[in-house]
Amino acid sequence: MGRYLTRRVLQFIPVFLGATLLIFIMVWIIPGDPIRALAGDRAMPESVRAALTEEYNLDKPAWQQYWLYISGVFQGDFGTDFRGRPVSELMGQRIPITARLAILAFGFEVIIGIAAGIVAGVRKGNYLDNLVLTSTLVVIAIPIFVLGFLAQLLLGVQFPIFPVAGIREGWFSYLLPALVLGSVSLAYIARLTRAALVENLRADYVRTATSKGLSRLRVVGVHTLRNSMIPVVTFLAIDLGALMGGAIITETIFNIPGIGRAVFEGVQRQEGTVVVGIVTFLVFIYLIANLVVDVLYAVLDPRIRYE
């Protein structure tokens, strides 16, 4: 286990550096001169221009820029945007908002998704099973931004239960966006849980448990469910990536000033430091989540061994 962990962490480092380098290269070859754009219509004195170019390391070769940047990141310095505000300050403001949205969405996914999956899986083929299968397929098929507008129109405008947009009403205003954000993954989790449960309920150890005289609740809830959670946990980690993309769309629809909107605005304004900073941070989170899941396997399934 210890050796496995070390190897996984060592693998994580080049992957993280590689992915961030890819993003860095892509963003910094955005055509256009951000320093000139800063000056607007008026011409900028050559000395100021040179000073700014040097300050942002734009005169150095790309690999050196990357190295200076990434070593700064590990010291918590994400650089400044072109108006002199530290990117970490912007992130500090925006991340809690998106985190709240994502935690709620994750909660919806896990609780409703797994519950629906269990309900469908324990009695394969009955009407509840078919209901779950059909409704999840419909949710998966509707693109998230169509679903977002539908929810906004129905539950925000036609039947004004939830606020239409913005975050003025605290946690309550996050509910609808979070449900929309989590909906597709919720459907996947329900289907995954169901499929795993159906397959595992046929396993020998389940028959043994049943013939030992254990209650149905214990057989399904403890013995089967634990092994059925493996594909779900894997999915949750991969899903974090989709959640980030979804957050950009959901935050646009519901006008939530989170990190997704910040990336989007950064791209529109050609603010490389903002885009690279946030995307680097998100990739980091994403990779950490995948690392945690790999370790969680061992806890969930004793059959998985590490050499």
Partner 1 sequence: MSDRVAITGDIELPDEHVDEATEDRVASLWGDAWRALIRKPIFVISALLILIMMVMAVFPGLFTSKDPRSCPLSEALQTPSAEHWFGTDVQGCDYYARTIYGARVSITIGLIVTTFALTIALVGGSISGYYGGIVDTLIARVTDMWFAIPTILGGIVILALFQNRGVAQVSLVLIVLGWPTMLRLVRSSVISVKETEYVDSARALGATDFRIITRHILPNSLAPVIVYATITVGVVIAAEAALSFLNVGLQLPAISWGLMISTAQNRILTSPHLLFFPGAVLSITVFSFILMGDALRDALDPKLR
Name the site residues for partner 1 (rule: CB under 8 A): 11, 14-16, 18-19, 22-23, 26-27, 29-31, 137-138, 140-146, 149-150, 152-153, 157, 241-242, 244-246, 248-249, 252-253, 263-264, 267-268, 270, 275, 279, 282-283, 286-287
State the minimum distance, in angstroms, from the CB of residue 244 to partner 1: 5
State the minimum distance, in angstroms, from the CB of residue 167 to partner 1: 19
Q: Taking the CA atoms of 76, 80, 86 and 88 in sequence, report the sign of the dihedral they define.
A: negative
Measured from the CB atom, the residue of 50 and 153 that comes closer to partner 1 is 153
Measured from the CB atom, the residue of 214 and 306 that comes closer to partner 1 is 306
Residue pair 235/189 in contact (Cβ under 8 Å)? The answer is yes
Measured from the CB atom, the residue of 23 and 44 that comes closer to partner 1 is 23
State the minimum distance, in angstroms, from the CB of residue 204 to partner 1: 16
State the minimum distance, in angstroms, from the CB of residue 223 to partner 1: 21
Six-digit token pair at 102? 């994502």
Measured from the CB atom, the residue of 31 and 76 that comes closer to partner 1 is 31
Measured from the CB atom, the residue of 16 and 82 that comes closer to partner 1 is 16
Measured from the CB atom, the residue of 22 and 299 that comes closer to partner 1 is 22
Tracing tokens 């996050």 back to the chain, one arrives at: 174
State the minimum distance, in angstroms, from the CB of residue 277 to partner 1: 12
State the minimum distance, in angstroms, from the CB of residue 142 to partner 1: 5
Ramachandran angles phi, psi of 109, nearest 5°: -55, -50
